[in-house]
Amino acid sequence: MAAVTAVVPVTASTAIASSSKKGLAGEANSEFSAMATLGAPSLGSSSSLSRNSAFLGCKLRIAYAGGVNFSRRAVPAGNWSASASEMLRPSVASENGKPVVNLSADEPPACTEGYFTSDVEGDPDRPTEGFSSILEAIEAIKAGKFVVVVDDEARENEGDLIMAGSLMTPERMAFMVDHCTGIVCVGMPGEALDRLNLPLMVQDKDNDEAMLTAFTVSVDARQGTTTGVSAMDRTKTVWALASPNGTPDDFKRPGHIFPLRARKGGVLKRAGHTEAAVDLCLLAELPPAGVLCELVNRGEGTMSRAPELRKFAAEHNLPIISIADLVRYKRKRDKLIVKTAVARLPTKFGAFQAYSYTSQIDGIEHVALVKGDIGDGLDVLVRVHSECLTGDIFGSARCDCGNQLEQAMRNIEREGRGVLVYLRGHEGRGIGLGHKLQAYNLQDAGRDTVEANEDLGLPVDSREYGIGAQMLRDLGVRTMKLMTNNPSKFVGLKGYGLSINRRVPVLSPVTQENKRYLETKRSKMGHIYGSDLPGFNIVDSEVNGDASQKPT
């Protein structure tokens, strides 16, 4: 008996259909090999099947008309139609008042148009739940107020009081000393510290501080201070550090204020409180000298953690932000890339224009392959592909990366217009080649791809797509049909002046080598591959070219 294979993203509003036939093992590697099967009656000139979709909250109808060709394309003849929810592109045909999507042989499958274009979800300007917006923090800094800034739980997991040094007052200094450790620091750019002849307390190679905080020699203002420790004396020292006209002779060394050397590039280079203090001052259009001190629990002397920090911020009516949100805010606005070259690149898939870009954050080179005229930048077929040396170059069977890359290039060539962004430095979802090979050993010992990363003390997925978003913007892309199975890319690209109108699945054959890897990405990382139709196993069918029904 023939089987109909439906590929339906979990959050999708459109069904994508492909087909296979039991017993045709050689065809299991067709371009859109299915990852889920559902039983169907024997297909003749026409057939249809309906199922209730628990995830979509609607009825899904898959209908077929015409003959089936099992050669190279999934559906080279006839049309598959899926009647789902109202979240479909406006241009689709309507049948009995319901939207219908038809998949032809001449275009890659498409789905979820209009679904991932929320103005809020995934926008870098939207704060993490429980935190204030970056714009609120900037306004507070402009007004000479404090902001509570929290770093990552995996880092110091601490909060600092931060304000602009140029607007410091003795009263606010006294408040800071009263509620914090008393070690008052001033984050500053390196060029300002060099101008004031304030060298590092210890050289980088000798820095054993837990977070490699770059302390310079401590200082007191030379004029108008006594011991240097009072709130007034410390305020005067901060003013002198923040002054653009300051000179080395304005300070006594050592002292009671600790300047910190911020990394060039701010939180985009080092996600620390020092860099956050400088970035907030710059965003507020004030001199780049941010005063900071770690908050402690009064009466205990212990470091304040997130619950205490939120309570403190609420009691004193202060904005509380995360450095992670500040990173996202700056990635959206700061220019992170420089275009370095453009050249014609003929490939086995067709001719493209290759654009090279260099990241101003870390110097890594990235490339974009462009097909056709981007023109108004609307509805461009796009693939943002993470570097995978083992899969893309060596054809590793452990993953589906190489297959996805080739399929994306074929789809763009077929479309005649599109962009493939190739992001380097993403090896192993950001952990690097050596760590990825170590993770392979753990996987061979029984761990899955997520557990292996965690066993190595590494993040499951540390990739960030701001660089790719800026490359797309530079190439003129505005709205896109995004080829991906990974929902995190929706979040990674939205909010950068880009809109994702449609998600296009990028499906690969399931083999004995990659079966567990693909299942783990679906079950643990939210990747969208196959059917959400209840009662059917979504990964099992195509390993041996067997498209038989697998009810759960």
Point out the residues that are catalytic: 461, 463
- d(Cα 344, Cα 247) in Å, to the nearest integer? 53
- 527 Rama class: left (phi>0) / alpha (psi -120 to 50) / beta: beta
Q: In Å, how far are 93, 168, 175, 257, 284 from 237, measured between CA atoms?
A: 70, 10, 17, 7, 21
- Specify which residues 344 forms β-bridges with: 353
- d(Cα 22, Cα 3) in Å, to the nearest integer? 7
Q: How far is residue 136 CA from its own chain's centroid?
A: 23
**Cβ neighbours around 519 below 10 Å, total:** 20
> What b/e sequence results for 460-476 when a residue is b if at least 16 CB atoms lie within 10 Å of its CB, and e otherwise?
ebebbbbbbbbbbeebe
Edge-first strand order for the sheet with 46-53 is 46-53, 58-65, 79-83, 98-103, 93-95
Q: How far is residue 149 CA from its own chain's centroid?
A: 21
Task: Give the E-state strand segments of 74-184 in sequence order.
Answer: 79-83, 93-95, 98-103, 147-150, 159-164
- d(Cα 359, Cα 425) in Å, to the nearest integer? 11
- 98 Rama class: left (phi>0) / alpha (psi -120 to 50) / beta: beta
- d(Cα 381, Cα 419) in Å, to the nearest integer? 6
- d(Cα 312, Cα 159) in Å, to the nearest integer? 10
Tokens standing for residue 107:
């275009």
